[in-house]
Amino acid sequence: MQYTTLGRTGLRVSVAGLGCGGNSRLGLGSGKSDADAIALVRAAFDLGVTFFDTAEVYGTEEVLGRALAGIPRDHVVISSKSRILDDGGTPLPSAAVLANLEKSLRKLAVDYIDVFHLHAVQDAHYAYARDELVPMLLRQKEKGTIRHLGITESPPRDPDQLMLSHALGDPCWEVVMLAYHMMNQGPRRTVFPLTMARGVGTLLMFVVRNIFSRPALLAQTLKDLADEGLVPREIADADEPLRFLMHDGGASSLTDAAYRFARYEPGAQVILFGTGDQEHLRTNVASLLKPPLPRADVEKLHALFANLRDVGLVFPDFARAPFSIATPYVERLEHR
């Protein structure tokens, strides 16, 4: 495993971070058992993964806590989150967010959470989060229940990352979680220069998600973009549109290319991935530990896709509405 320091937090973390939400939810989203999920987390730790990201709405805090039980607390870094809106879209009072933090601590069976985020914050609610919720969370940081404070964007609702552009002007945030992938390169201009200048740690999500793991979706997306004149028609009409990335010395697969593209972007620190399968886990980690993609391939990706926006930014299959204004998606999963 390779490790990095997460911004100015000083936390030493694996560059590969296991995400416990998304479509897989450690395999629980596809019907696997708690025992399977626990075994997956332990397998990740055995591979050197030390960063684990969960949230109240994922429904995986408790199983993650059970999986990490017995591992010395200072050997892992745990990230979790609280929504800031109720199911009707009304801002949660600070007491409710504090209650969510306390529930997360109990479910994870820990005394503190290394990075505690306000989850999927939209730009319209940012000032409320900063002015009404952050003071309470900073008091919790003083008490030691939180080590570092983070904020995550809601990519499908904020493709231009307006919320993060405002948040990065405030000193309270030590970590941000953002969407970045081969066809969503906006953060190269809007986010990473600020995080690097201000010592803010970065956690990258949506690096693969559906667009690079489902060939039919990628093909249709490129055809739609070509129809709008946003990508060359010859790319969209190719049988394997991004085949140029796979060659000797290049990527072994499209997902391999996606992970390596994000991993070596200046400003990228932890690349989050989700899985419910141990072989998939090993493959993802292996990709993140490979060298960068060839410079010519990266430059071609920049030339083709640097100006795209709002591509491949979709909620998990069973959570199309933003979690911050809808029933927690673990409950929707149970009733789908």
- Low-confidence stretches of the chain (pLDDT < 70) are 316-336
Query: For 94, how many CA atoms within 13 A lie in the half-sphere containing its CB?
Result: 13
Calpha distance 276→296 (Å, rounded): 34
Contact, 16 vs 53, CB < 8 A? no
DSSP for 184-242 reads B-THHHHTHHHHHHHT-EEEEE-SSTTTTT-HHHHHHHHHHHHHTTSS-HHHHHSSSTT
pLDDT in the model for residue 315: 76
Report yes or no on whether pTM surpasses 0.85. Answer: yes
Task: Give backbone dihedrals phi and psi of 214, rounded to 5 degrees, phi first.
Answer: -125, 100
Q: What is the pLDDT of residues 161-176, one digit of tens each?
A: 999 999 999 999 999 9
Please tell me whether residue 65 adopts helix, strand or coil conformation: helix
Query: Dihedral (C-alpha) 235, 258, 182, 60: value to the nearest 10 degrees?
Result: 130
Within 13 Å of residue 126, how many CA atoms lie on the same side as its CB? Answer: 21
Q: Given this model, what pLDDT does residue 237 score? A: 94
User: Which residues, 6+ apart, have CB-to-CB distance to 25 below 8 Å?
Assistant: 37, 58, 59, 60, 274, 276, 330, 333
Which CATH architecture fits 3-335? Alpha-Beta Barrel (3.20)
CA of residue 74 relative to chain centroid, distance = 22
Position 326 scores a pLDDT of 41
Q: Tokens representing 65?
A: 């806590």
Cα distance between residue 132 and residue 122, in whole Å:
15
Q: Are 175 and 200 in contact (CB under 8 A)?
A: yes
- Which three-class secondary structure state does DSSP give residue 120? strand
- The pLDDT, as a whole number, for residue 213 is 87
| Most distant pair of Cα atoms in the chain: their distance | 58
**Domain assignments of the chain as residue spans, ordered by start:** 3-335
